[in-house]
Structure 1
Amino acid sequence: MTDLPDDQTLTQSGASLTETRLTEGEASTLLIACGALAHEVLALKRMNGLDHLDLICLPAILHNTPEKITDAVRAAAERHRDRYARIHVLYADCGTGGLLAAECDRLGVEMLPGAHCYAFFDGVERFEARDELTAFYLTDFLARQFDAFVWEPLGLDRHPDLLPMYFGHYTHLVYLAQTEDPALTAKAREAADRLGLEFTRRFTGYGDLATALTRKPS
C-alpha cells in the first residue's frame, strides 16, 4: 500500500495544478479525489482492503479557486475513463454552485453528497440539522495546513488587522476530527486561539466518506 502522502505534495504541483496519482494497479474503479482527502481515502483503502479502487488526487489548493474545480474534474475523468469500469468523484459541491454536480451527471459518474467536506465527514443530515451558522470548521487536513490554506491566503500573516473583517461574524471554531490525534487537536486549538474563537472538538471519523467507499457497486 502506498504510504500516506505529505500534504504539501497535494497542495500545488507547479503552476498547472496537475493531478497526483497515489495508487495504480488492476483496479476496476477510479477515485478522483480532492487532495485534502488523500490521507483519509488511503487509510480507508488500507483498513478495508479496497484493492479494486485506484486513486488520483487533484490539488487541494483548488478550494481557493472553486470555479476551477469542475474543469479539473472533467479533464481527469475524460483522461482516464477508458481504463476503468467506474469512476467516482470524491468532492462535495465545494463552492461550485451546482456546476460540479451537473458535470458529473453529464459524465455519468457519482460524487459525494453535501455542500462541502465538513458536511460529509459529520454526516450530511446531522450537519444540516446543527445549523451552526457562526461556526468555522477545520478537518484533520485543515488543522495540519491552517497556515497554508487559511492564514496566509487571507493575508493575515501580513495584515493581522484584517482578522475582525474575516472572522468577526464567527463565534467558535469546530474541529471535525477524523482521527484521535492529540497533536492535531493541539493545532486546531491553537488555530481557534489565533482567530479569537471558542474551541469545540467533534470526533466524526470518516463519516459518509467511509460509507461511499465501502458501498458495494451496483
Structure 2
Amino acid sequence: MGAQPAFLVIACGALAREIVALRTLNHWPHMVVQCLPADLHNRPEKIPEAVRAKIQAARGKFTTIFVAYADCGTGGLLDAVLQEEGVERIPGAHCYEFFAGSAQFEALAEAELGTFYLTDFLLQHFERLIIHGLGIAKHPELLPMYFGHYKKLTYLAQVESADKIAAGRAAAERLGLDFEYHVTGYGGLATSLQHASAAAASSVTTSTITWQN
C-alpha cells in the first residue's frame, strides 16, 4: 500500500488551473485536488452542502482537508458548514478579493461600487457561464436586468496576456460597461495554500484531480 495522502484541497472548479500551477511551482506532490463544478457560482445556495458532502466523503482518507472557496455568495452558510465540520477555507468574500488582496479589492470597490469582476477562468468561460449560464443568449432582454446597475468591468488577471486583455475589453463592450484591468497574479490563493500545506502532515502520494459533475 502507498503512503496516505496528507493534504486534500476541495476547490471551486474556477480555481483548478491556478491551484495546479501553484502545486507545480511549490512542489506539493502530497496535495490532492478535488473540484466541484464552477457552475455552482450561478447557484451559490448549493455550495455549502456540496462542500459538506466532499468533506464527509474524505474523512479518514486524508490527514488535512482545506477548502479553496471564498464565501462566494453563500451569505455565511458555507462558513457555518465548515465550522461544523472543523475545516478552514480561504479568507474573503469572493475569489476576486483573495486574488486582488483585501486592501486592493476594497480600494477597487470604493472607487466604483457598480463593478463586475472577471478572473482568468471567468474570462475564458465568459460565454458559457455568463452569456449562456444567465440565459442572455436566448433572452437578450435579460442583459440590462443583470447588468444595468453595473458601470465597469474589471478584469483581474492571474497571468498577463495581450490576447486576454483584448478578450476582457470585448466582454466589457458586450455588456455595455467600461473596461479596466489589473494583474494580480495568484494573490491570497498562493498564501492560503502555502499555509495549509505547511500545516499538513508530511506523508506524500501522487496527487490527482477529480471532477464531480
Alpha-carbon separation, structure 1, partners of 2:180 and 2:108 = 14
Alpha-carbon separation, structure 2, partners of 1:81 and 1:187 = 42
Q: Are residues 1:211 and 2:191 paired?
A: yes
Alpha-carbon separation, structure 1, partners of 2:59 and 2:132 = 36
Q: Given the alignment, which residue of 127, 138, 141 partners 1:161? A: 141
The offset of 1:120, in angstroms, is 0.7
The offset of 1:70, in angstroms, is 0.6
Aligned equivalent of 1:94:
72
Q: Given the alignment, which residue of 5, 11, 16 partners 1:33? A: 11
Deviations 1:136-176 (A, max 9, x none): 10000010000111111222212223322221211111000
Q: Are residues 1:124 and 2:102 paired?
A: yes
Aligned CA-pair RMSD: 1.6
Structure 1 segment 1-218 matched on structure 2, within 5 A? 26-131=4-109, 132-215=112-195, 216-217=198-199
Aligned identity (percent) is 53
Alpha-carbon separation, structure 2, partners of 1:133 and 1:198 = 13
Q: Structure 1 unaligned runs (5+)?
A: 1-24
Deviations 1:184-204 (A, max 9, x none): 222211101101111111000
Alpha-carbon separation, structure 1, partners of 2:64 and 2:148 = 44
Alpha-carbon separation, structure 2, partners of 1:76 and 1:33 = 10
Q: Which amino acid aligns with 1:168?
A: G
Q: Which amino acid aligns with 1:141?
A: F
Alpha-carbon separation, structure 2, partners of 1:66 and 1:133 = 21
Q: Is the 8 A contact 2:153 2:180 kept in 1?
A: yes
Q: Is the 8 A contact 2:117 2:154 kept in 1?
A: yes
The number of residue pairs the alignment matches comes to 195
Task: Name the SS of the counterpart of 2:160 in structure 1.
Answer: coil
Alpha-carbon separation, structure 1, partners of 2:102 and 2:59 = 28
The offset of 1:63, in angstroms, is 1.1
Structure 1 runs, 4 residues or longer, greater than 3 Å off: none
Alpha-carbon separation, structure 2, partners of 1:44 and 1:119 = 18
Alpha-carbon separation, structure 2, partners of 1:80 and 1:147 = 33
Q: Which amino acid aligns with 1:162?
A: L
* TM-score between both structures, scaled by the size of structure 1: 0.85
Alpha-carbon separation, structure 2, partners of 1:128 and 1:108 = 29
**Higher RCO (Cα < 8 Å, 6 or more apart):** 2
The offset of 1:116, in angstroms, is 0.9
Q: Is the 8 A contact 2:5 2:63 kept in 1?
A: no
Q: Structure 2 unaligned runs (5+)?
A: 201-213
Q: Is the 8 A contact 1:27 1:51 kept in 2?
A: no
Q: Which amino acid aligns with 1:217?
A: A
Q: 1:181 to 1:81 in 2, by over 3 A?
A: farther
Alpha-carbon separation, structure 1, partners of 2:144 and 2:57 = 44
* TM-score between both structures, scaled by the size of structure 2: 0.87
Alpha-carbon separation, structure 2, partners of 1:121 and 1:184 = 17
Q: Is the 8 A contact 1:171 1:197 kept in 2?
A: yes
